[in-house]
Amino acid sequence: MGWEQSGMRSLILNSPKSSLTTPLKRKEGHQESELFTSTISRRRWVEVDLDRYYTPISLAEELLLKEFRGEACVAVDSTCGTGNLLAAASNVYRETQCIGLDRDRNAISALRRKNPGWILSVGEILKDRSYKSTLAANAGARCDLLLLNPPFSQGNQKSVQVTYEGHHLKSSIAMANILKSLELFKPKNGAMVIAPESVLFSELDAAARHYIESRYSIHIIGELHNETFRGARVRSTAIKILPGVKAKGSSVNTISVADSIKVNLVRGSMPVHFAKSGRGRDSIPFVHSTDLKDLVLGQQPSSIKIGASRNGRVSGHVVLLTRVGIPKLDFIQPLELHEETQLSDCLFALCCSSKTKAITAARRIRANYSNLLDIYRGTGARYVTVQRLKNWLLEYGFEVN
Ligand SMILES: C[S@@+](CC[C@H](N)C(=O)[O-])C[C@H]1O[C@@H](n2cnc3c(N)ncnc32)[C@H](O)[C@@H]1O
C-alpha cells in the first residue's frame, strides 16, 4: 500500500496567500538546531516551542472544505492546544460537538473559557493512564473526524516506544500521536493530520505506516509552506487518513494521462571491478551506486578507462536508482550528467527529456518511496529486475521506453 498523492494537482487553494504548495517537494529532516540559535535554556526552548506551532484557522478551514465535505457531528483533536483545528471544524460544519485533549493545563483552561460548549480535558495522549478516565477520551468514542497537528519532536527525544492495537513498535513522536489517536478515537470519517513529511517516508515510521495501512488509506493532500507555522523550518505535510484499505494499485487512478512522465529506462552493465580509473582518449565518466552521494551533492562522475564498448551509457537529465541494494530516499534526485557516462551494473537510469521532467520524476518516486521498496527483493542483497521496475513505474504514471 502506498502514500497516495490524492488530488494534489487539483489542490491549488483559492487564496493567493494559501499555505499549501503542490506537489510535494524534497524531503528534509527536522533541523532542530536551525530553529534555535540561543544556547541559553536551549532545551527548554525546544520543549516548549516545538509543541506550539498552532495551525492557522483559515488553513484548516480550507483543508476541511476541500477534503472533508460531509458533516462532522463530533470532531476530536487529541493535541488541541489553542483549539484552532476544532474552531475550523466548528466554522465549517454546522452543530459540531468539539472535543479536545491537551497536556497543557493552561491551554485547556483558556479554551474552556472561550468555548464553554466544548468537551475539553487535560491529558497526555501518549500515556494511557493520563487520558483514559478523561471526559474527552470517553466522549470521543463517538468521533466522526479526528483533527491532528501533533508535536513534531520533544527536546532531544526523536523516537518513542508505542503500542498500537496490541503491537509494540518504535516511531517518531508525531507518528506516535497519530497512532494513539487513531486507536483511541477510531474516527468514522477519517482524520486530517498536519505532520512532518518524515512520517510518510522515514524508516523510523515504516512499521507504524504498515499498521495504519492495515485499517486505513493514507492520502497526501499537499505540502505546507514553511512560513505556515511561524518560526518553524520543518517541512509539514497535510495528510488525509480515511477508513478502509486502499485497493492495490489504486493510486494510479489519481494520475491522469496528462501527468504521465516519459522516461527512457537504461540498465547499467559495467561490473565495478572492471572499471579502472584513469584518463585518456578511451576514458569515459563512470558511475556506481557508491557515487550517488557525491552526484547528489553536485559533483560530476570521475573518468575510467574502458576497453570494449558497453551498454548502459547515459547523459543529460536523469534520475539514478540502484538495481542492487535498497535505494536511499535522499539519493533519488534529479541529476544532470554533462558527458556520456557509463553506469555500473548496479544502477538504473531514468533518462528524462528536460530538467523539469527529471524533477517531477524524482519527486513522484520519492512520494511513493515505501511502495518502491516493496519491489526490491532477494534473500541476500535486495535487488530489482528491469521488469519489476518497469511495472512499478507504469503503475505510478510513467511512460517507459
Ligand atoms: C503543534 S501544537 C498543535 C495544537 C493544535 N492542534 C493546532 O493545530 O493548532 C501541539 C499541541 O500538542 C500538545 N501536546 C504535546 N504532547 C502532547 C501529549 N502527549 N498529549 C496531549 N497533548 C500534547 C501541546 O501542549 C500543544 O498544545
124 domain-assigned: yes
pLDDT at 199: 86
Confidence of residue 187 (pLDDT cuts 50, 70, 90): very high
H/E stretch holding 96 reads none
Measured in Å, residue 307 CA sits from the centre of ligand 1 at 62
Residues 82, 119 within the same domain: yes
pLDDT at 228: 58
Q: What is the 8-class DSSP label of residue 378? A: -
What is residue 328's three-state secondary structure?
A: coil
Residues 314, 229 within the same domain: no
Residues 244, 263 within the same domain: no
Between strands 191-196 and 276-277, the pairing is unpaired
Residue minimizing CA distance to atom 4 of ligand 1:
81
Q: Report how far residue 236's alpha carbon sits from residue 223's, in angstroms, rounded to the nearest whole number.
A: 6
Closest to 221 (Cα-Cα) out of 14, 17, 21, 2: 21
Atom of ligand 1 nearest to the CA of 84: 9
Peptide bond before residue 334 is cis, with ω within 30 degrees of 0? no
Residues 316, 218 within the same domain: no
Q: Report how far residue 251's alpha carbon sits from residue 396's, in angstroms, rounded to the nearest whole number.
A: 7
Residues 248, 206 within the same domain: yes
For 194-240, the pLDDT digits (tens) are: 998 778 877 788 899 999 999 999 988 877 765 555 555 456 789 99
Task: Flag whether pLDDT at 93 surpasses 80.
Answer: yes
- Sign of the torsion angle spanned by Cα atoms 119, 120, 125, 131: negative
Measured in Å, residue 162 CA sits from the centre of ligand 1 at 17
Q: What is the 8-class DSSP label of residue 377? A: B
CATH number at residue 42: 3.40.50.150
Residues 287, 391 within the same domain: yes
- What's the rounded mean pLDDT across residues 79-96? 95
Residues 127, 275 within the same domain: no
Where is the domain boundary, 215, 233, 254?
Answer: 254
Residues 178, 262 within the same domain: no
Residue minimizing CA distance to atom 27 of ligand 1:
81
Grid cell in block for residue 198: 518524515
Between strands 313-322 and 334-343, the pairing is antiparallel
Residues 310, 165 within the same domain: no
Residue for grid cell 518511496: 369
Residue minimizing CA distance to atom 16 of ligand 1:
151
CATH number at residue 373: 3.90.220.20
Residues 248, 316 within the same domain: no
1 domain-assigned: no
Of 90, 103, 132, the residue with max ligand 1 atoms within 8 A of its CB, to mutate for a pocket test, comes to 103
Most confident of 99-108, 146-155, 223-232: 99-108
pLDDT at 247: 56
Work out the widest C-alpha separation in the chain, in whole angstroms. Answer: 81
pLDDT at 273: 82
Residue minimizing CA distance to atom 2 of ligand 1:
52
Residue minimizing CA distance to atom 12 of ligand 1:
79
13 domain-assigned: no
296 domain-assigned: yes
Measured in Å, residue 85 CA sits from the centre of ligand 1 at 11
Atom of ligand 1 nearest to the CA of 60: 8
> How many domains is the chain built from?
2
CB-count exposure of residue 366 (10 Å: 0-12, 13-18, 19+): buried
Q: Which residues line ligand 1 (CB under 6 A)?
A: 51-55, 77, 79-82, 84-85, 101-104, 107, 124-126, 149, 151
pLDDT at 34: 24
Residues 196, 283 within the same domain: no
Closest to 5 (Cα-Cα) out of 219, 182, 216: 219
For 16-30, the pLDDT digits (tens) are: 344 444 333 333 332
The percent of residues in the chain predicted with pLDDT above 90, rounded, is 55
CB-count exposure of residue 191 (10 Å: 0-12, 13-18, 19+): buried
Residue pair 194/217 in contact by the 8 Å Cβ criterion: no
For 38-78, the pLDDT digits (tens) are: 222 222 222 334 456 788 999 999 999 989 987 778 999 99
Where is the domain boundary, 213, 229, 254?
Answer: 254
Closest to 108 (Cα-Cα) out of 118, 94, 95: 118
Grid cell in block for residue 125: 495522549
Where is the domain boundary, 191, 224, 254?
Answer: 254
Residue 306 is part of which domain span?
258-400
Residues 277, 151 within the same domain: no
130 domain-assigned: yes
7 domain-assigned: no
> Which residues on adjacent β-strands are paired with residue 75?
98, 145
**Mean pLDDT over all residues of the chain?**
81
241 domain-assigned: yes
pLDDT at 14: 32
